[in-house]
Amino acid sequence: MDWQRIWPPLLGGLMIGAASASLLALTAKTAGISGILEGILTREKGELGWKAAFVLGLLAGGVGLAFLLPENLAREALRPLPMMIVAGLLVGFGTRLGGGCTSGHGVCGIGRLSLRSILGTVTFIAAGALTVVVARLVEGS
């Protein structure tokens, strides 16, 4: 294994875990980002404050990264604009129908050894992998 390639994802993962675990221990809340975004969109009663604060933190982090680590914030998209819009719709709709995304199911759910989240995570990784294969066949590269 190539340590040079592994340590940034591992460090980043530990930070994400620390952020999610801190939110749990401090506020009893789950750091599931799709659910947090939906709560803001629908002005969820009693939950709006902390959800908005969390997303403000994410945005502030994004601005900070733009200065400190701009090479890690990709500007170039993988696909043309119409396809990016389709992808966004699928991600938004699918995460809410499935009740979670990479953070809610993949980290917090698996971190609780929730069968629901383990199956959800296996499903979205498998669907993503299949999509990558199909896209390559269609695009013929």
Partner 1 sequence: MRKNIAAFFCGLLFAAGLGVSGMTLPTRVVGFLDFFGGWDYSLMFVMGGAIAVYLPVWYAMKCRKSVLAGNLPCSARKDTDARLFIGASIFGIGWGLAGICPGPGIVLLGRPSVETAAFVAAMLAGMLVHRALPRKQIAAATG
**Residue 12 binds partner 1 (CB under 8 A):** yes
Give CA angle at 58 (47, 129), nearest 5°: 100
Instruction: Give the contact letters, 58-97, x = binds to partner 1 (CB under 8 A), - = no.
Output: xxxxxxxxx--xx-xxxxxxxxxx-xxxxxxxxxxxxxxx
Q: Which residues 117-136 are close enough to bind partner 1 by CB under 8 A? A: 117, 119-121, 123-133, 135-136
Q: Is 121 left (phi over 0), alpha (psi -120 to 50) or beta?
A: alpha
**Residue 43 binds partner 1 (CB under 8 A):** no
**Residue 50 binds partner 1 (CB under 8 A):** yes
Closest CA to 26 of 61, 9, 50, 4: 50
Minimum Å gap between C-beta 126 and partner 1 is 7
